[in-house]
């Protein structure tokens, strides 16, 4: 009886040892397979990154644009083109409008003291910019014999008109800034819906199906945000430029009124 128990114990120990050895071999094989898969994935990622880096920038942008869907990406691109067109037009206009106010004021004052209102009007007429236009309108009212109070009101009113000209079409840029990311987010929602529709049609969650919809969603969002950021930078520049010109107009209007009071007295 004791011998049988000893034999059974030995057999049990041998089976346990064999099972442990087998489990160890399986675990080693699993670790080796996981390491090989990670290495393969890393090599594939490096090769894909290297291939992406070797492609020209415009080809990469074109591929991402087509992957994001020409529908929403095209609308966002239209927002960028129209916004940049308005931005370029406003920057050119504001640079032309930003004249040397101090020099113009000195020239008008010298002409007014030496040649009268007619010569001062000629100096303002031959100078471009909103400040020169305000000077011309004020001198024109003075030449017509209007009182200085009416001349001052005319200067203020025409200054408001010039401010409106400076701010023309800027609201469209702010619209495109708000519209571009909204369209990108809409493309995101539609991309997610397409991903879930594909999962529902197949009946199984496949990484390829999910990745395709998520990629479309992320590309539209990124492109919309990039457009909004670009236009926002130019929008802030234009606003600061307009504020600078308006401040010069206000200072010049005050100097013109003081100049006209001195001339009349």
Other CB atoms within a 10 A radius of the CB of residue 152 amount to 19
- Say if residues 189 and 206 touch (Cβ distance below 8 Å): no
Buried b (16+ CB within 10 A) or exposed e, 218-249: bbbbebbeebbebbbebbeebeebbeebbebb
Q: Which pLDDT does position 144 carry in this prediction?
A: 81
Sketch the domain layout of the chain as residue ranges: 100-166
Tokens 């600078």 belong to which residue?
244
- Distance CA(21)–CA(41), nearest Å, equals 30
- Tokens describing residue 11: 């057999």
Give the range among 20-24, 111-115, 191-195, 218-222 with minimum mean pLDDT: 20-24
- Has residue 4 got a pLDDT over 50? no
CA atoms within 13 A on the CB side of 37: 6
Which of 57-66, 189-198, 205-214 ranks highest by mean pLDDT? 189-198
Cβ contact 75:183 at 8 Å: yes
**Helix intervals (H) in 55-206:** 57-67, 70-97, 101-125, 130-143, 148-166, 170-202
Say whether pLDDT at 107 is over 90: no
pLDDT tens digits, 37-91: 334 434 444 444 444 445 675 666 666 666 666 676 788 888 899 999 999 999 9
Tokens representing residue 204 in the block? 């199984």
């Amino acid at each position: 009886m004791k011998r049988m128990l000893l034999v059974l114990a030995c057999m049990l120990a041998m089976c346990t040892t064999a099972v442990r050895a087998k489990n160890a071999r399986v675990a080693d094989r699993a670790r080796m397979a996981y390491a090989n898969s990670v290495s393969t994935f890393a090599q594939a990622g490096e090769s894909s990154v290297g291939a992406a880096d070797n492609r020209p920038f415009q080809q990469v942008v074109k591929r991402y644009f087509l992957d994001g869907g020409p529908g929403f990406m095209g609308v966002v691109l239209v927002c960028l083109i129209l916004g940049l067109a308005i931005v370029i037009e406003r920057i050119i206009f504001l640079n032309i409008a930003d004249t040397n106010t101090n020099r113009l004021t000195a020239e008008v004052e010298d002409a007014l003291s030496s040649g009268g209102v007619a010569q001062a009007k000629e100096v303002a007429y031959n100078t471009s910019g909103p400040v020169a236009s305000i000077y011309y309108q004020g001198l024109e009212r003075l030449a017509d014999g209007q009182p200085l109070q009416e001349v001052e009101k005319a200067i203020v009113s025409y200054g408001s008109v010039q401010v409106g000209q400076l701010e023309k079409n800027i609201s469209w840029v702010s619209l495109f800034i708000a519209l571009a990311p909204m369209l990108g987010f809409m493309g995101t929602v539609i991309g997610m819906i397409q991903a879930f529709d594909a999962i529902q049609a197949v009946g199984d969650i496949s990484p390829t199906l999910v990745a395709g919809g998520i990629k479309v969603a992320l590309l539209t969002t990124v492109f919309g945000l990039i457009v909004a950021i670009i236009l926002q930078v130019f929008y802030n520049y234009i606003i600061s430029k307009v504020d600078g010109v308006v401040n010069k107009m206000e200072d010049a209007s005050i100097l013109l009124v003081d100049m006209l009071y001195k001339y009349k007295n």
